[in-house]
Amino acid sequence: MIGIDRATARSPRVRHGWREAKLVLLAIPALLFLVIVLFVPLINLLSLGAASGTFAPYRHALSDPLYLTVIGITFSIALATTAICLILGYPVAYLLSTSSRLMTAVGFVCVLLPFWTSLLVRTYAWIALLGRNGIINRLLLEWGVISEPLRLLYNSGGVLVGTVHVLLPYMIFPIYAAMVRIDRDLLLAAEGLGAGPVSVFWRVYLPLTLPGLFAGCALVFILSLSAFVTPALLGGGRVIMIANIIQTEVSQFLNWPFASALSAIVLASAIFVYGALGLLTRAQHGSPRSQAYV
C-alpha cells in the first residue's frame, strides 16, 4: 500500500522518470556486456584500417586484382545463393502454410532438422556425396550415365550447393511467417471481385508476402556474405571468399590493418543491405514493426 501512496504523491512525470530509471537497470548488464566485449573492440579494429590517415589498406583491398576478384566472387555467390534460396524456398513456405497439420509437421521437420544439424556435419556429408569418389559419381558411373567422374566439388557450384543448403531455412521461415498471417478472406474477396488465380497471386498474395520475402532475402544475403566454412571446405582453395581472406590475413600474416579494412567492407555491405530492407519494408507496409526479424 505504501507503494501506491508514494506513487500517487508524485507527479506523473516524476513517476515515469522513476519507472524508466528502474527499467534501464534491467538493460544495463546486457548492454554493458555488448559494449565491452563487442562494440568497443569493434571500433578499435575498424580504426586500425584508417589509423594512418591515408586509408592505404582500403586502397590496397580495392585496387589489387586478387582482392577485387575475391570481393567479386563473394558478392556473386551471395547474390546467387539468395536467388536460388528464394526460388526453392517460396513454394515450400507456401506449401507449409496451406497444408494439413500432418503435412506441415513433416515439412517442418525436414526444414528444422538440417537447420539444427551442425554445419560441419552437413559439409562433411556434401563432400561424401559430391566428391570425385563420392556417392553421386559412383552411382552415376555404375549406372553408365557418365564415363568418368564429374567435378562437382571444389568449384563455385559446389560452394553454392553448400551455402544454399545452409541458408534455405533462413529464407523459408520469414516467408512462412508472412504467409500464415495473410487473411484468407482477402483472397476470396479478390476472387469474388472477378480476379483470376494468376492476378490474385500477383496483385494480392505476393505483395502481402513481400515483408517476409525481403527479410528472408536480406538474411540470406548477409549470412552468405560472411560464409566461411562452406568455401573453406567445399571450395578447395579455388573459391575464396572475404571471410577466408580475413582469416588468412589475421592468422598467417598478422596483417591487422588490412583485416580491418576487409572487415569494414563486409560489415558496411551487411549494414547497407539491412538498412535497405528496413526502407523497403516500410515503403511496402507503412510500419517498421511489421517486419519479422527471422
Partner 1 sequence: MQLKSRLLRATLVAYCSIVLAFLMLPLVIVFPLSVSSATYLQFPPPGFSWRWFESYLGSPSWVQATVLSIEVGCMTSALAVLLGVPLAFYLTRSRLRPISASLDKLSVSPLIIPSIVTAIVVYRLFASYQMIGTRTGLVLGHTILALPFVVVVVSAALRTFDPVLEDAAMGLGAGRLRAVLYVTLPQLRPSILSGAFFAFMASFDDLILALYLSGANMTLPRKTFENILFAIDPTIAAVSVLQILFVVVLGGAWYAFAYRTRPASLAR
Binding to partner 1, residues 123-142 (CB under 8 A)? 123-129, 131, 133-135, 138-139
CB of 233 to partner 1, least distance (A): 6
> Could you say whether residue 113 binds partner 1 (CB under 8 A)?
yes
Classify residue 148 as left (phi > 0), alpha (psi -120 to 50) or beta: beta
CB of 67 to partner 1, least distance (A): 15
How far from 184 is each of 93, 100, 180, 187, 262, CA to CA, in Å?
16, 15, 9, 5, 47
CB of 178 to partner 1, least distance (A): 13
Q: Which stretch binds partner 1 (CB under 8 A): 57-65, 121-129, 150-158, 205-213?
A: 121-129
Restricted to residues 55-84, the positions that interact with partner 1 (CB under 8 A) are none
Cβ-Cβ contacts under 8 Å for 89 (sequence gap 6 or more): 168, 171, 172, 175, 216
Cβ closer to partner 1: 15 or 60?
Answer: 15
User: Taking the CA atoms of the chain, what radius of gyration do you get in angstroms?
Assistant: 25
CB of 208 to partner 1, least distance (A): 16
Contact by Cβ (8 Å): 194, 209: no
- Chosen residue from 62, 79, 110, 189 binding partner 1 by CB under 8 A: 110
Cβ closer to partner 1: 88 or 210?
Answer: 88
Contact by Cβ (8 Å): 94, 173: no
Of 34, 77, 38, 58, nearest to 264 by C-alpha is: 58
Restricted to residues 248-267, the positions that interact with partner 1 (CB under 8 A) are 250, 256, 259, 263, 266-267
